[in-house]
Amino acid sequence: SKYMIIDGNRVDFDNEKNILQVVKKAGIHLPTFCYYSDLSIYGACRMCVVEDKWGGIIASCSTPPRDKMEIKTNTPKLHQHRKMILELLLAAHCSDCTTCEKNGKCRLQELAGRYGLTQVRFKDEHTVREIDDSSKSIVRDPSKCILCGDCVRMCQEVQNVGAIDFAHRGANMIVSPAFNKKLAETNCVNCGQCAAVCPTGAITVASNLKDVWKAIYDPKKRVVAQVAPAVRVALGEEFGLNPGKNSIGRIFAAMRMLGFDIVFDTSIGADLTIMEETNELLETLEKGPGKYPLFTSCCPAWIRYAETQHPEILPYISSCKSPMEMFGAVLKEYYKEQDEKEGVSTVSVAIMPCAAKKSEAAREEFIRNDVADVDYVLTTTELIRMIKEIGIQFNNLEPQAPNMPFSISSGSGVIFGATGGVTEAALRRVVADKSPTSLKEIEYLGIRGFESIKVAEVPLGDKVVRLAVVSGLGNAEKLLEVIESGEEHFDFVEVMACPGGCIAGAGQPFSHRPEKEQRTAGLYKSDSVSQIKLCEDNPVIHDLYEGPILKDRTHELLHVHYKH
């Protein structure tokens, strides 16, 4: 086999695209700001340099490995080179680390520490630039940008949005929306994937921590929270638990300690969504094949994408509110009378893996008679902060159950957090045979997993239903192309904006592919051990439909007509 000599040791390789990955195989993680295996190679930061046997310095990310190549990763020259780059970056960078959103999570801070920088030889030349907090989901602080371009490539290559790009030349170069617009005025879909890859505090997810603490400390407020499916399999990572470990019981316990009055699981909302969405699917099937399928509606970044780039498909997107909004509406109704009696008001908080949910919650369509279905959205990362701030020893907590009366959810609801989950849940509801074997068969249709576009065909009565599942808006775009050209026909299409689904949302702890896969496996495991697999078997859902809140009001509370 082919091999390289790295620091005197033989390291075999075969399909590695670049030297950086071969070096990784040797157990060395080279420093880099601009390299992500899922993005194209940019080679801008030049931190990942290695020395060849003639003393030449080469960027390992953009150089393919050659057989019998000899390189060194640790030489005085490389050490000097990397230190100098770091110092230049620091001199051009706002260094208010202690008050930065990214404090403790910043790659520049980490590498400065790793290289033991105690001083910067260059004069501080950083330009103070205006912070753009126009968006409800994302904050841009260009003074902290190091021009690695990760956000630009993510937005363009993976999401096909292109809301931000490099502007100006030379020393004035910045990353910005075109014409220096505010982010909220662009076609940004709020997915936050730019923030997920930003190594510094230049792009971060907007925070609502202050608002939520204020509500918690206000005795006149009843703080009612719901926790999204994907949060439970990622939050524990920050406390040393393995990715994928379901810590929902500990999350509920921690939240009660933080002062949340009532805690629920968004999976109940997901169960409601499937009840409603499958009705629409059956109607679509009844009508017979048209050009467009029924598209799912739970991802607000996907909704924004359709609004800004594909208005022609808007009539075909399910009218279902997202699970978060459905449950939010139900909760506001549920506590209405009690609030009046007790002289308090309910504040509805949603703990989400997502940046876009913050913008979703603020949309006018979700504010009924001046009351928002969901008042504040906190990300998984924000909840982690709260837990750390108070000093709760998360790992030692005894798991707790959610509050009554919305205390049971089905496995169908939990898998929503992974790409393909909504489709699988919908299939469980519409197939005639609901035996364990039949449900297992759905599992093997090919709608689970990380493939970019997943297609399945399922017999239903005398018809065959064609389904497609995509995550990542670039993939959604590719699928739309073949739908619009008439090349392919589908009855049902699930779109999630984040590659891999909500488990990889921008509000989650930073993750690479292995963590994403483990989180996904964690959700499927929770489903496989859950006693109730189907939303229609959930007694809570049953009671809701029979009870006063939803009786004759499903349309008002569970559906939405976007004003676009």
Residues that bind ligand HC1 (CB under 6 A): 228-230, 266-267, 269-270, 298-299, 322-324, 352-354, 357, 416-417, 501-502, 505
Whether residue 1 lies in the annotated active site = no
Whether residue 277 lies in the annotated active site = yes
Q: Applying CB under 6 A, does 155 fall inside the site for ligand SF4?
A: no
Whether residue 407 lies in the annotated active site = no
Query: Which residue, among 470, 476, 480, 465, has the nearest Cα to 426 in the 3D structure?
Result: 465
Binding map of ligand SF4 across residues 340-379, x = CB under 6 A, - = no contact: -------------xx-xx----------------------
Whether residue 360 lies in the annotated active site = yes
Alpha carbons 193 and 138: distance in angstroms, whole number: 10
Alpha carbons 87 and 70: distance in angstroms, whole number: 29
Q: How far is the CB of 498 from ligand SF4 (least distance, A)?
A: 3
Query: Site residues for ligand SF4, window 174-213 (CB under 6 A)?
Result: 191
Return the sign of the alpha-carbon dihedral for residues 351, 357, 362, 367. negative
Phi, psi of 28 (to 5 degrees): -120, 125
Alpha carbons 52 and 56: distance in angstroms, whole number: 5
Q: How far is the CB of 388 from ligand HC1 (least distance, A)?
A: 22
**Span from 171-179, 494-502, 515-523, 529-537 in contact with ligand SF4 (CB under 6 A):** 494-502
Find out whether 472 and 193 touch, Cβ atoms under 8 Å: no
Catalytic-labelled residue, pool 277, 494, 515, 517: 277
DSSP-derived pairing of the beta strands 69-72 and 49-52: antiparallel
Binding map of ligand SF4 across residues 303-342, x = CB under 6 A, - = no contact: ----------------------------------------
Nearer to ligand HC1, 417 or 522 (CB): 417
Nearer to ligand SF4, 253 or 352 (CB): 352
Find out whether 506 and 205 touch, Cβ atoms under 8 Å: yes
Q: Applying CB under 6 A, does 138 fall inside the site for ligand SF4?
A: no
Whether residue 333 lies in the annotated active site = no
Indicate the Cα dihedral angle 344, 255, 376, 545, nearest 10°: -70
Enumerate the β-bridge partners of residue 371.
368
Whether residue 318 lies in the annotated active site = yes
The count of residues interacting with ligand SF4 (CB under 6 A) is: 14
Distances (CA, A) of 6 to 63, 64, 193, 364, 373: 14, 14, 34, 58, 57
Alpha carbons 522 and 252: distance in angstroms, whole number: 18
Structure tokens at 114: 């790793």
Residue 293 binds: one of ligand SF4, ligand HC1, none (C-beta under 5 to 8 A by kind): none
Q: How far is the CB of 325 from ligand HC1 (least distance, A)?
A: 7
Query: Which residue, among 59, 67, 70, 50, has the nearest Cα to 16 in the 3D structure?
Result: 67
Whether residue 502 lies in the annotated active site = yes
Whether residue 364 lies in the annotated active site = no
- Which residues are the active-site residues? 277, 280, 298, 318, 357, 360, 365, 502
Binding site for ligand SF4 (CB under 6 A): 191, 299-301, 353-354, 356-357, 496-498, 501-502, 505
